[in-house]
Amino acid sequence: MTEKDGSPNQSASLRSATRPYLSLDHLEKTFGSLRVTADLSLVVSEGEILALLGPSGSGKTTVLRLIAGFETPDSGRVLVDGEDVTPLPPERRRFGIVFQHYALFPHMTVGENVAFGLEARRRKGPEVRDRVARALAAVDLAGFERRKVTEISGGQQQRVALARALAPEPRILLLDEPLSNLDPSLRERTRRELARIIRAAGITTLFVTHEQDEAFELGDRVALLHEGKLEQLGTARELYSSPATRFVAGFIGRSSVIPGVWEKATGRARLPGGAAWRAVADSDLLDGAPVDVVVRPEALTFAGARNGTAAEGRVLETRFAGHETYFSVALEGGGEVEVLAVPDAAQPGWKVFVAPLPAGPLPRVYPGTGLSLSPVEAK
């Protein structure tokens, strides 16, 4: 997040991120009886990097393919700078795409790969050579023109794919899980490089990922998809601290879900053991309605004794996480929560009292399903 928060490129990017540039207008797509994308609308500003985040099968790659023109929507439109590109074939959209497995042409050299898009647009010899050199230099691969794509590392292949996509100066850059093909050790470094290159290019970018860290670090904003629907669109901080739906709350970060009853007058959720926790809810939630209380581990603490907000429970197990530890606590009356606290705060088997931190983010409540989920299950 550091680069996003402080770099000059980021500032430049955000400065220009005001004019709507790429718009998805009520996109719908079904494969047979499977509805993959349901009435999806969103707007990406000029120069903005939007992360399309979601679990497997959420329809995010389909959305990318609809934008790229590889799939035709059943209804809805894709607009770029006001122009409806929906009827255009991919080769006439002038988008750059980085594929999950890069799709580098194995029979061509690095230089020929990067030159391909320029030649397809009828650029001539000296200009092509110059732009290939510049594109490769931009991804720190200057002088790699004659290398075979099969002889370079995975990280280098990824950068060649990026250079190839950027060389023809596309209107939009689309990236499909750009880091998923790399070793975990290489992924973080490449992620930073990718962010630097894209921001330097200042291009409107949409990338697909199922990794929260990736989405949060690379994306100016994040669009979270679930079963083809847009659950929430916002900054990483907004998604984490103000999840719009129960799915968002469960998907972003760690959280526990416990059953409760909503007390509208006091703005509290009553837990089965009797404790009542102050919480945030939609205004139309009725008094006395069963709710799911979603709470993050860092928002809970161990209280000294039972009081109105402390729920009694027993520590089931602990998970060491460096300077802090996650404690799984089975609450009296039902439900299980996870508490983040100092390692010696409790031991498995201890009876404890759990309460929300007074200054911490408030638990959020959603219409109840009656289910109680541990943080892992909630994912």
Partner 1 sequence: MTRRNLAAAFLALLLLWLVGYPLLVTLAQALEAPRWTLQHFTEFARRPEEWRALWASIWISLVTVGLAAAIGVPLAFLFERAEFPGRRVLGSLVALPVVLPPLVGVIAFLFLYGESGFVARGIQAVFRLEEPPWRLAGPAAVLLVHAYTMYVYFYLFTRAGLARLDAALLEAAAGLGARPRTVLTRVTLPLLRPALTGAALLTFMTSLASFSAPYVFGGGFRVMTTQIVASKLNGDIPAAMVETVTLAAVALIGLALIQRSETGRVVAGGGRGVAPARRQLGRSRRFVAGFGWVLAAILLLPHATLLLVSLVPRSTWTIEILPPVLNLSNYAALFSEPERLRPLVNSLWMAVAATAGALVLGFAAARLAVRGRTPLGGTLETLLAIPWALPGTVFAVALSATFSVHAPWVGRFVLVGTAAILPLGYLVRNLPLTGRAAFGGFRQLDPALDEAASSLGAGWWKRLSRVDLPLLAPALAAGASLAFLTALGDFVISIVLYTFETRPISIEILSSLRLQETGVAAAYGVVLAALSAAVFFLWGRRGDEMRTGSGLHLPH
What's the min distance (Å) between Cβ of 107 and partner 1? 5
What's the min distance (Å) between Cβ of 99 and partner 1? 5
Residues 38-77 that bind partner 1 (CB under 8 A): 68-70
Q: Answer yes or no: are the C-beta atoms of 26 and 3 closer than 8 Å.
A: no
What's the min distance (Å) between Cβ of 53 and partner 1? 22
Q: With binding defined as CB under 8 A, does residue 111 bind partner 1? A: no
Q: Indicate the residue among 88 and 303 with the shorter CB distance to partner 1.
A: 88
For 130-155, give the DSSP string: HHHHHHHHHTT-TT-TTSBGGGS-HH
Vertex 84: Cα angle to 83 and 87 (nearest 5):
140
Q: With binding defined as CB under 8 A, does residue 97 bind partner 1? A: yes
Amino acid residing at 116: F
Q: With binding defined as CB under 8 A, does residue 105 bind partner 1? A: yes
Burial pattern 195-214, b for ≥16 Cβ within 10 A else e, equals bbbbbebebbbbbbbbbbeb
- Name which of 294, 300, 296 is nearest 313 in CA terms: 300
- Find the part of the chain contacting partner 1 (CB under 8 A) among 52-60, 95-103, 313-321, 370-378: 95-103
- Structural tokens at position 203: 């291009």
CA distance 177 to 198: 15
DSSP three-state, residue 128: helix
Q: With binding defined as CB under 8 A, does residue 117 bind partner 1? A: yes
What's the min distance (Å) between Cβ of 116 and partner 1? 5
Q: Indicate the residue among 68 and 248 with the shorter CB distance to partner 1.
A: 68
User: Which of 11, 83, 84, 92: binder of partner 1 (CB under 8 A)?
Assistant: 92
Q: With binding defined as CB under 8 A, does residue 181 bind partner 1? A: no
Residues 254-313 that bind partner 1 (CB under 8 A): none
What's the min distance (Å) between Cβ of 32 and partner 1? 13
Q: Answer yes or no: are the C-beta atoms of 226 and 54 closer than 8 Å.
A: yes
CA distance 127 to 369: 62
Q: With binding defined as CB under 8 A, does residue 31 bind partner 1? A: no
Residues 142-171 that bind partner 1 (CB under 8 A): 164-165, 168
Q: Which helix (H) or strand (E) holds 214?
A: helix 212-218
User: Which of 1, 34, 103, 357: binder of partner 1 (CB under 8 A)?
Assistant: 103
Residues that bind partner 1 (CB under 8 A): 68-70, 89-97, 99-101, 103-107, 116-117, 120-121, 164-165, 168
